[in-house]
Structure 1
Amino acid sequence: MEPTENTKFLEARSSMESEELDFGDSNARFNYEMPKRDHTRRRQWVLLASNISLLLLNLGVFLMVTGYRIPRVLPDSHGGVRLPHQDWIAPALSEYETRTFDDQFSVHGKYRGLPRPELEEAWAYWVRNYTVRVPQPGWLDDAPPNRVLAEFQDEEGGIMGVFSFIHSIHCLKTIRQYMLPDFYPETIATFGRKPGEPLQRHMDHCIDMIRQSLLCHADMGLTVFEWSKDEKIPITINHKTQHMCVKESNVVKFLEENTVPPFGDILIHPWTGEQAFPRTEQKSSPEKKLGGQSQ
């Protein structure tokens, strides 16, 4: 029996509906898989963000517990140049601050003016910590083999040393006293000029040491000139120049922790066996003897 036109129509319609059903199933699967992939991607990002947040939180807690502080002047600010003992002195140089220098000509401040108790104490404060214990002689490996370093004769050992800025303060203090012979006759007696010597050798040495230190550190604090109606040329007054300075309290703390007075049996002459600084001199600073020996 041949199919009628009606039968053919019904069969074609059934076939079309079957294809539409298959296409609809495919769309349903596609629409189901798309949100599933989006959900997986979002979940991965959430996990990544959570892990990063947890890592930063742990890092913050670690820095707080250890007391780590980021220095205001980063270690590479000197172009990667380091001293052999850089790690040892790092606590003293961990923080910097801006400071306005007092550069007025009027006599004021504890370091200026004629001798008086306040002034003497101010200058003595720094040279009191003249000698420090250098804990690692390996920093001095470039020393000639015939040198006999001054080693402390106690359980901690170490080599006796002095920081350059302390030596510079000693030099300034000595030059200042040398300019006031009526007030400091003992300085004149120690550093008196020899016959035919127009410039005392130790003073000349101190001036050049300070010059080298100034040029080495090259303080770039900026001073500007200004006009005054009473002056024919520009002048530099009341400029309140700011300088970048190491935080003084950290330096003082470091010195107090590492200073070793060389009195008594802690420092013995290797050839004579005698104390370099007898305990009877303990009330005085070793600065004058040690600083004046190169005259």
Structure 2
Amino acid sequence: MEEREAHYSLLRRRGSSEEKDTSGRPKVAYSTTISTPVLIHLCILLLYCTVTFTIIKIHSSAPRSLPVLPNAINGLTTLYDTRVYNLLNHSKYVGPPSDQSIDESWIELLDPMYIRVQRSELERNGRTSVSLGRNGKEPESFLAWLGVFHELHCVKLLRQWKYKSHYFPNITANEADNLESHTDHCLDRIRAAFMCHPDTSSLVTFNWSNNQQPVVNGTKTLHSCINWKELIESTRTRAVSPQELAILKNPLSEIGDNN
């Protein structure tokens, strides 16, 4: 009997939470639920993080458009208009050398090629060049081409190479190799220029003829073109004459002569 009472007493002590609390201290109720204001703030924070992450992802994955470089020199007139080209029309810049007017057209086209630029313009382009000295109180100027004249020079050379027996009748094997390298350079220079400044203003279409494949329709194609005359006129004051070019002396050769 005593063992049964002792066992009961032990069980009662272990389950003492069922007994009435006589300490007099108030009981604290703990809740596992989140209050409404806290829940609202958590939702706002989650929404903010989601939007921020989405914006960062869009900007990091989107292709970036770099700003267009300004004109290489100051004061250029770059006006554009729309023109209609007919590729089937004859051009005064192509044809056999027997037509003297073609060479004259090329001379006229490349006449304004050499211009003088200022030191600040060279620095803006990250370039150096041959000095043309000073003209009175004017600052020192330097020899340059606008980039377009490099491509035009190359087109002229390719035409001349096509008729090399006329334009280069007595060249040596070494000179021929150099010209071959030069024409390769010119071909790639023109390719690079076309890809750098692609003509996206025109559309090439096709038609059927007696051929089995569609052929290019080269009539009346629209192009957005720079006003060439206005562009060249804006460089006239910078022109370097053939006489100025003729008197230029290579300082490196003078150093070699002194040695």
**TM-score (norm. length: structure 2):** 0.61
Larger relative contact order, structure 1 or 2 (CA cutoff 8 Å, min sep 6): 2
Is 1:170 the counterpart of 2:153? The answer is yes
Of the two, which has the highest radius of gyration?
2
Q: Which amino acid aligns with 1:113?
A: G
Does the alignment pair 1:223 with 2:204? yes
Q: Which residue in 2 is equivalent to 1:124? A: 107
Which residue matches 2:87?
103
**Deviation per CA, 1:202-255, whole angstroms, max 9, x where unpaired?**
111010000011111100211111234x33332222431111110011122123
Kept in 2, the 8 Å contact 1:96–1:245? The answer is yes
RMSD: 3.1
Q: 1:81 to 1:109 in 2, by over 3 A?
A: closer
Aligned with 1:169: secondary structure? helix
Structure 2 counterpart of 1:136, one-letter code: R
Find the aligned partners of 1:217 and 1:162 in 2 and give their Cα distance. Answer: 18
What is the identity, as a one-letter code, of the residue corresponding to 2:76? A
CA contact (8 A) 1:223 1:241 kept: yes
Question: Which of residues 242, 251, 258 is equivalent to 1:270?
Answer: 251
Q: 2 CA distance for matches of 1:211 and 1:242? A: 21
Give the partner amino acid of 2:146: F
- In 2, the alpha carbon distance for the partners of 1:128 and 1:90 equals 17
1:239 paired residue among 212, 219, 222: 219
Assess, with a 3 A threshold, how the Cα gap between structure 1 residues 235 and 187 changes in structure 2: closer, same or farther.
farther
The offset of 1:186, in angstroms, is 5.6
Does the Cα contact within 8 Å between 2:86 and 2:218 map onto a contact in 1?
no
Q: Structure 2: how far apart are the matches of 1:189 and 1:253?
A: 40
Q: What is the rounded CA distance, in whole Å, between the counterparts of 1:161 and 1:98 in structure 2?
A: 29
1:83 maps to: 70
* Residue type at the aligned position of 2:94: R
How far the C-alpha of 1:143 sits from its partner, in A, is: 4.6
CA distance 1:142–1:172, change in 2 (3 Å):
closer
Residues 121-146 of structure 1: per-residue CA shift (max 9 Å, x gap): 111112222211112335426758xx
Q: 1:188 to 1:169 in 2, by over 3 A?
A: farther
TM-score under structure 1 normalisation?
Answer: 0.54
What displacement does 1:257 show? 2.3
Structure 1 residues 80 and 215: alpha-carbon distance in aligned structure 2, compared to 1, 3 A threshold: same
**Which consecutive unaligned segments of at least 5 residues does structure 2 have?**
1-64
Structure 1 residues without counterparts, runs of 5 or longer: 1-77, 275-295
Structure 2 CA distance for aligned equivalents of residues 190 and 101 of structure 1: 41
The answer for the alignment partner of 1:158 in structure 2 is 141
1:153 is displaced (CA, Å) by 1.7
Structure 1 255/241 Cα, relative in aligned 2: closer, same or farther at 3 Å?
A: same
Paired with 1:193 and 1:234, the residues of 2 have a C-alpha distance of: 39
Amino acid at match of 2:156: K
Q: For 1:131, give the aligned amino acid.
A: Y
Cα distance in 2 for residues equivalent to 1:192 and 1:240: 42
Count of matched residue positions in the alignment of Structure 1 and Structure 2: 184
Q: Percent identity?
A: 24
